[in-house]
Amino acid sequence: MSEAHTFHPTVLREYDIRGIVGSTLTAADARAVGRAFGTVVARGGGKTVCVGYDGRLSSPELEAALVDGLVACGLHVLRIGLGPTPMLYFATRDREAAAGIMITGSHNPPDYNGIKMMLGKGPVYGQQILDIGIIASKADYVSGEGSSEQVDVKDAYVERLLRDYDGTRDLTVAWDAGNGASGEILRRLTAKLPGKHILLFDEIDGNFPNHHPDPTVEKNLVDLKKAVAENGCDIGIGFDGDGDRIGAIDHRGRVVWGDQLVAIYAADVLKSHPGATIIADVKASQTLFDEIARLGGTPLMWKTGHSLLKAKMAELGSPLAGEMSGHIFFADKWYGFDDALYCAVRLIGLVSKLNQPLSDLRDRLPPVVNTPETRFQVSEERKFQVVQEVKGRLKNEGADVNDIDGVRVKTADGWWLLRASNTQDVLVARAESGTPEGLERLKGMVVAQLEASGLQAPSFEDGGSAH
């Protein structure tokens, strides 16, 4: 008889399970997830689960415990080993498994780790994650005699990534794997891609000795920019710790942000899906939504969160979606999940066949000035209350508000956003304008609203970055 298990209250998140190894997340937690999630799979008639893990030092131990829990539910586990999260998503689809589980801390610091899950073809999030906690707390498990086997999907995954490469001229590309889980796949992929490839930090190392593996933070792209400049590269591409988020640099060393990449991809995807709905999150630039409309597509602004975007895409049959954070999802030719390696293949192909530099594609969008995503600490209890208070005041003032996820307020100067993070005890603010003066006015509006709710306003970092 298995004992009941209680998780630390901070680890069951909106999109995944995540915590500090040895403190809020242990092997016992991973085993309990295996038992509880395995119970959900088995009760739904599932028989097989794929399991993978990233390059963190704690990942093998957590993976072994998780597999024990799944096997105790009578399931057959396909252990795909070390690799990026999208390789696990691919294996689950390719092997037609009932579910997939990835041990990964994504782009968190080295002492963190976590668990991402998929059931059938869709993500596990929200109430489904809380339900895992409830099953574990009651030890309401199914039991059986399962089994596990090691399977190698690396060759099949690389071949599938290569299938959609459609470039016509060779490019020189710099790649920064950030010592994350994509390193080995990246070596295999670039060995088969045409062109010249310069690989940085492709040795998988859970200490992340060179820089933090988050390509959406510009200071983490210093080495990539240097490699692009020194080698005369056409493009630089960076990955996060588990390979589901992409960052890109043009040949002039400028960052091509997540929403700009979605606009570039949209121009290509809408050729074969005219009028299709393209989805982006509430943090994305207005220039992206305007560009989708200009290209004949139907822009849809949706909630931030990779699980939420994946679910919305499936619901609407959308061929493309993306987030500011670099999670970009292709259902055009691909499976609808976020895969930075696949996004890279599509980007290189696009630039190659258009015979235009990435900088030209980036500069098709009108220039704007914006703040970076500014986060500031607010207690878990208070963060959602503040957003409701701000929304109430804005509605009374007759402001133009989109409240799909927090408040996004449109004015003559541009727009500003305030939303509560689903994964941290922070509020997130962002603003964008066509002029520096307009941006200052928008920032002033955010500050005024926060002060009206008794909060000290954030110090927006230098927001002059043209974007």
Give the three-state DSSP class for 78: strand
Q: What 8-state DSSP symbol labels residue 84?
A: -
For residue 101, the one-letter residue type is I
**Residue whose tokens read 């409701």:** 388
Q: Are 178 and 208 in contact (CB under 8 A)?
A: yes
- 147 included as an active-site residue: no
For residue 394, the one-letter residue type is L
Give the end-to-end CA distance of the chain in Å, rounded to a whole number: 58
Strands 246-250 vs 277-281: parallel, antiparallel or unpaired: unpaired
Write down the catalytic residue from 58, 106, 318, 352. 106
Q: List phi, psi (to 5°) of 295.
A: -80, 0
Half-sphere exposure of 35 (CA within 13 A, CB side): 25
**Residue whose tokens read 């994946």:** 310
Q: Are 414 and 367 in contact (CB under 8 A)?
A: no
Q: What is the DSSP string of 419-443?
A: EE-SSSSEEEEEEEESSHHHHHHHH
Q: With the C-alpha atoms ordered 228, 231, 235, 241, is the resulting torsion angle positive or negative?
A: negative
Active site (catalytic) residues: 106
